[in-house]
Amino acid sequence: MYIQISYERVLTLQLLQTLYSYNVTIFGIDLKFDSVAFTLPIGDGWDIYWYGICIALAFLAAVVYGFARAKKFGIDPDRLSDVVLVTAPLAILFARIYYIIFYPGKLNIKTVADFFGISSGSGMAGIAIYGAVIGAAVVGGLMCWWRKVNIIDAFDLASISFLIGQAIGRWGNFFNQEAYGTPTGSKFWGMTNMEELNGVNVHPCFLYESLWCILGFVLLHILSNHRKFRGQLALTYGVWYGFGRMIIEGLRTDSLYLGPLRISQWVSGALVLACGITLIVIFARMKTAKKALTYETMFDDIDNTTVKTVTYYEGDETETADETESDEDAFEETAEVSTETVTEADPEEKDITEETAEESDETEKTEDDE
């Protein structure tokens, strides 16, 4: 059985998500929850959704990590705060615009509220992560230039922060029961609910991507302590996230399309190729440059037996064993000569010394008698 959800159905679910209390089974674990976490006593009531909480926690985790490691990347936290404050809201705007452009159905946008997807009263409906990444790159790059923050260092730091944020944010899809995939064909593996999926297990794509991002975060965090060049982490992010997203996107049933093509798969593929090729080229050039600095011995045609060899180390010089032994023998001979010189003193000098001592004693005795 193949479940294909129409985009009209997706839109309807977004508009009516306040009405749902989900009974979900994921890998044999039964869960029950509402999409609304709680309601604030403001006006007729202001619903706070689990999706929004997940996105807020994701942003908080990314910002905390970024500021905690800013100095490690040579970035002034005060300047970075200016970059983040301007980039964050505009990145969300880019995420919404990206969604609107590539949404395959027809969106009825007549007001500003419709444009931001908040006219239903259930929060912003319809954003895309790649739009946020593109927006962050464009706006963040301009802000880094304006605030005199090294753009490449900032992108390296942001790439790690993105991964921890994406790992947390994907759980918002779980609480909205969206962004899942095709049926798994298994009674255990997968996720289902009785409200929309009629008990059929489907691929929990949100979970796959969350785990992929957590693993990527750990790897990039470790790699950040051994960074070979600026931009290495940002390029690695492009390869890592792009590859994982390209595979997972193929399982989803609610993808955005460009004509008959899944836009996220094409963007992911282009990202992997661009970043991967750039990494290969840079490492190849680094290897070539390192090889060019390697010392090559001159005068190879000279007979080595006629040359006295000396091995040099950084901060130290060590001669060959033969030369060391010769120096030790010379030192011992010098020590013996010095000893003989001291022990074989002139006898006449010795007698003169004794006579002088006797005269001194007689003089002292005469003074005592007086």
Give the C-alpha separation, 86 to 39, whole Å: 29
Assess if residue 9 is contained within a domain: no
Does 172 share its domain with 254?
yes
Does 91 share its domain with 185?
yes
For 120-171, the pLDDT digits (tens) are: 555 566 889 999 999 999 999 999 999 999 999 999 999 999 999 999 999 9
- Which of 264, 292, 320 delimits the end of a domain? 292
Assess if residue 339 is contained within a domain: yes
Q: What is the SS3 assignment for 349?
A: helix
∠ Cα 343 345 348 (to 5°): 150
Assess if residue 243 is contained within a domain: yes
Does 269 share its domain with 338?
no
Q: Closest by alpha carbon to 95, among 63, 53, 118, 124?
A: 124
Helices and strands: H and E segment counts in the chain: 12, 9
User: What percentage of the chain exceeds 70 in pLDDT?
Assistant: 71
Assess if residue 218 is contained within a domain: yes
- Which of 292, 313, 344 delimits the end of a domain? 292
Does 257 share its domain with 349?
no
> CB–CB of 90/139 below 8 Å?
yes
Assess if residue 229 is contained within a domain: yes
Assess if residue 13 is contained within a domain: no
Does 110 share its domain with 42?
yes
Does 261 share its domain with 356?
no
Does 249 share its domain with 150?
yes
Give the C-alpha separation, 26 to 22, whole Å: 12
Assess if residue 14 is contained within a domain: no
Does 283 share its domain with 147?
yes
Residue 309's domain spans which residues? 304-369
Does 310 share its domain with 266?
no
Does 74 share its domain with 107?
yes
Sign of CA dihedral 255, 256, 262, 265: negative
- Tens place of pLDDT for every residue, the chain, 370 residues? 444 444 444 444 444 444 568 899 999 999 999 989 988 888 888 888 899 999 999 999 999 999 999 999 999 999 999 999 999 999 999 999 998 888 877 777 777 777 776 655 555 668 899 999 999 999 999 999 999 999 999 999 999 999 999 999 999 999 988 889 999 999 999 999 987 888 899 999 999 999 999 999 999 999 999 999 999 999 999 999 999 999 999 999 888 888 778 999 999 999 999 999 999 999 999 988 887 766 555 555 555 555 555 554 444 444 444 444 555 555 555 555 445 444 444 554 445 455 555 555 555 544 444 4
Q: Closest by alpha carbon to 242, among 133, 84, 96?
A: 133
Q: What are phi and psi of 52, to 5 degrees?
A: -65, -40
Does 278 share its domain with 318?
no
* Amino acid symbol at 362: E
Does 233 share its domain with 194?
yes
Place of tokens 């995939």: 181
Burial of 49 (0-12, 13-18, 19+ CB in 10 A): buried
Q: Which residues contact 368 (CB under 8 A, 6 or more apart)?
A: none
Burial of 15 (0-12, 13-18, 19+ CB in 10 A): middle
- Which of 240, 264, 292 delimits the end of a domain? 292
Assess if residue 10 is contained within a domain: no
Total structural domains within the chain = 2
Beta bridge partners of 32: 23
